[in-house]
Amino acid sequence: MSDTVASDARLFPSPDFPAVPVAGEKAAYPVHRIFCVGRNYAEHAREMGVEVDREAPFYFTKSPLAIVQSGAAVPYPPGTENYHYEMELVIAIGAPAWKVPPEAAGAAVFGYAAGLDMTRRDLQLAARARQRPWDLGKDFEQSAVMAPITRAAEFAVGTQRISLAVNGTVKQDARLSDLVWSVEELVSHLSHFYHLAPGDLIFTGTPAGVGPVVAGDVIHGEIEGLAPVALRVEPAE
Ligand code: MN
């Protein structure tokens, strides 16, 4: 974006931005930034001991290098004893959006995917209690799990079921119509703080029913009409 240093002037190679497959297509979607919405389902806010803020959504971010593809096996992460799944609808931005009203926000959406906002819950809650940033709890290696993206022309957000099972037992079960802040409202709101652009993902928040996983667990998440997302948890490194 603003980096004009030639690659032969760098001390070591830059990592490539990760890319996410697009369902049924050869070319993948390169990810530049990851925004995540907090408390966007009232029932989940309640289970976390807080209420939804109806004045404005709030966000945290993850490094794009935290992306891991659906179907991966990841080691139980370091520094936590309470590693949680969060099943989410993910918006993929496909056109520039800067200070757009909600009515115009839909045009900036490339597509949608099922994703997992994996969380070190103990570290997140400890940070929250001390009014510190959530980074250790949220932005860690392999914490953003992405299923293939479906183009917006093939998926309209409505009352689809969003659900997640661990080892075959359903843990989260809600509807996309339970979202407090809609896709259009989120894209519009964020576009007043960032120049949204192709490559930006927005994790839209998780329904109630979050919980821990341990080594050996298999997570399977579904949103009706989208490719499912899966993750296997391996022993810690
Ligand atoms: Mn989340």
Is the pLDDT at 233 greater than 70? The verdict is yes
> For residue range 180-194, what is the model confidence (pLDDT) as tens digits?
999 999 999 999 999
How far apart are alpha carbons 228 and 163 in whole angstroms?
A: 10
Report the separation in Å between the CA atom of 117 and the middle of ligand 1, taken as the mean of its atom positions. Answer: 5
Q: Give the distance (Å) from ligand 1 centre to CA of residue 118.
A: 8
Distance from the alpha carbon of residue 50 to the mean position of ligand 1, in angstroms: 14
- 159 pLDDT above the threshold of 70: yes
Q: In 3-state terms, what secondary structure has residue 66?
A: helix
The values of phi and psi at residue 185, to 5°, are: -65, -40
Query: Distance between CA 218 and CA 70 in Å, rounded?
Result: 12
Ligand 1 centre and the CA of 8: distance in Å? 39
Span from the CA of 124 to the centroid of ligand 1 (angstroms) = 11
Domains and CATH numbers, the chain: 17-234 (3.90.850.10)
| Mean pLDDT for the stretch of residues 95-109 | 98
Cα(1)–Cα(3) distance, integer angstroms: 6
What's the pLDDT score for residue 4? 64
Ligand 1: centre distance to CA 128 (Å) = 14
Ligand 1 centroid, distance to 204 Cα (angstroms): 7
Residue count of the chain: 237
Spell out where 4-66 has E strands.
Answer: 19-20, 29-30, 33-38, 58-62
| pLDDT per residue as tens digits for the range 10-58 | 899 888 899 999 999 999 999 999 999 999 999 998 998 988 888 999 9
pTM listed for this prediction: 0.95
